[in-house]
Amino acid sequence: MNNSKPLIYINDDKCRNSYACIRVCPVNAIEVKPNKSHPSILSDKCIGCGLCYIACSAGAIEFRDSRQQVRELLASPRKTAALVAPSIASEFDDITDYRKFVAMIRELGFDYVHEDSFGVDLVARKYAELFEQAKGKYYITANCPVIVKLIEKYYPALVPNLAPLVSPMAATAMVVKDLYGPDVATVFIGPCIEAKDEKDLYRSGTLIDHVLTFIELRKMFEEAGIQERLVKMSDFDPPYGHWGALYPLPPGIIQAAGIRRDVVTSSIITASGKEEILEAIADFDRYIDFILHHFNLFFCHGCLLGPGMENHSERFRRRALVRKYARKRVDLLDKKRWEEDMRRWSKLDLSRSFKPDDQRVPDPPEEVIQEVLSIITRGDKNQSINCGICGYKSCRDFAITVAKGLAIPEMCHTYNIRNKQEYIETLRQTNRKLAETKKALKISEETARKEKEAAQNASSMLHSMLEKLPTGVVMVDSNLKIVHSNMSFINIVGEDARVISEIIPGLAGADLKTLLPFNIYNMFNYVLQEDQPVLNKDVKYDDRMLNISIFPINKNKICGAIIRDLYSPEIHSEEVTARISEVIEKNLEMVQKIGFLLGEGAAETEQMLNSIIESYKKINEALDKKSR
């Protein structure tokens, strides 16, 4: 049965990139990519141990939630049985009597409630037989699904050494199916997250329908409003277990099997917890012909502190709770009935098989590893301090993971400190430069403000001067739209222009073609297209004679014109002409400065005024000749 959601995954909305998950992952199944905002869990490589879930203080690590499927199952017509792990003694110590706990589960809608300890007893007896008949072959117990995945994925050569027996969860489900028929639905409730995937290994996922962790069970109690004080006591349904109740303790299944556990004569070594497990499997792989023992392994410290439990501390207190609970259950047990039940269900086929699923990634070439180490240590080979803060045993192990593309150098604490120090120094230098730049900018802004004020004053003077000229001045763009014109031009054009100027000062934007006849505005076209001036052209306009000079200001874009009404008295007056020439010459230097400050626009005006001055010089020369 394929599940749409990964067993364990990272909620990006909650992730704070502390990398705590990466530091605890025993198989490097969490990758960090430079182009990704957050780490991601590689489902194919994950063994479902749940250490990342426990380590993530932000709660960003989540696991597949089965509550809704269980609710739907309980609402269906099918009979449903709960299979409860004996770890309840260490998890639900807040419930005063286990019988109240059983009643609360029934209140959820389960028809039957069975303790997993009887399944432990069945499997334990099979282990005793297996070890007895081993004849020099040594096995690793397959009760812990995390251990099974770890070996299948990362020690595939040891797969033949996995004990070919189902877990107690599967054995209990087989008993329940035999009791009530194959149609009964089964839901395992326990401390293990990986059991959610393990269930799919048996009978194509039909032996166990769903798996709830104790965390999910507590939430279902809360959602349904089920409390201990509201229910009556109810016991588990038979068959009852014996010393299988000790299963949460790492050596519990060995004791349930009746196997001697003293260090001299016992043929079994028990190990639990991440560090012990990784060392135990590595030693089994290399030295089993010397060790000559079977290995009983639990990835957690037994099922006392599974990731599917609310709390993961007080291990020794929890051990005491389990022992107390097991003693109570055994004292109440009908031993004769238990023996009969064991004989009845010993006929069940509890065998299973395994297959390698090699997820190991070959180490990259040595030169690549050295290159990464050089980046991390800044080329100083003596800086490999192996602090372990990144979660790897050594700087070399970390460099190998980076070279494999599963981590980034920024995960190295020392590397980050160096980067931070360099960054701080860079910031310090940048701040100094910024302060200097800010000071220079303030001076520049003050200078620019003064220049702007001067430019505005000069511009105002320029426009005032243009308005006082008796000669018409106009500038047009490439579309023959007026950019600016003075009042003299408006008066020359006539009444229509005066009406428009009352609405649009200076006729800005007006179409020259609508104001002047073709023979005049066509000269503007010529100047714009050819970039050549037209000087002193006398053109008949209505009952007047106009003298027109047109010159380019901005090539093919803007041109300016000086238009004189030759019949106007002012034009015949040498005194006025001389006065205007004098004013223009006096302000030439100022206009040139204005052009520099105002940029292109002022420069265009300066060019136009230069043309005006040039035009007036020619007029003065002509008048001088006439007077002589």
In the chain, domain spans = 1-64, 66-345, 366-411, 453-627
- How many other β-carbons are positioned within 10 Å of the β-carbon of residue 111? 15
Q: Each residue of 452-462: pLDDT tens digit?
A: 887 777 767 77
More confident residue, 324 or 597: 324
Instruction: Return the CATH number of 1-64, one of 1.10.260.40, 2.160.10.10, 3.30.70.20, 3.40.50.150.
Output: 3.30.70.20
| pLDDT of residue 216 exceeding 60 | yes
Segment 380-394 mean pLDDT: 65
Round to whole Å and give the CA distance between 496 and 493: 8
Cα–Cα nearest to 259, from 85, 364, 134, 411: 134
Q: Which residue has the tokens 């709390």?
A: 311
Structure token pair of residue 231: 């229910």
Residue-level pLDDT at 594: 46
pLDDT bin (cut points 50, 70, 90) of residue 1 is very low
Segment 556-582 mean pLDDT: 70
Task: For 318, list phi and psi in degrees, rounded to 5.
Answer: -65, -35
Q: Each residue of 70-86: pLDDT tens digit?
A: 999 999 999 999 999 99
Q: What is the pTM of this model?
A: 0.66
Residue-level pLDDT at 422: 65
Helices (H), 310-388: 315-332, 335-345, 366-377
41-45, 213-217, 442-446: which range is least confident on average?
A: 442-446
pLDDT bin (cut points 50, 70, 90) of residue 95 is confident
96-105, 147-156, 254-263, 398-407: which range is least confident on average?
A: 398-407
| pLDDT of residue 313 exceeding 90 | no
User: Cβ(547)–Cβ(555) under 8 Å?
Assistant: no
Positive or negative: CA dihedral 354, 355, 359, 365: positive
| pLDDT of residue 566 exceeding 60 | yes
DSSP code, position 121: H
Residue-level pLDDT at 230: 92
More confident residue, 270 or 599: 270
Round to whole Å and give the CA distance between 148 and 597: 82
Architecture of domain 453-627: 2-Layer Sandwich (3.30)
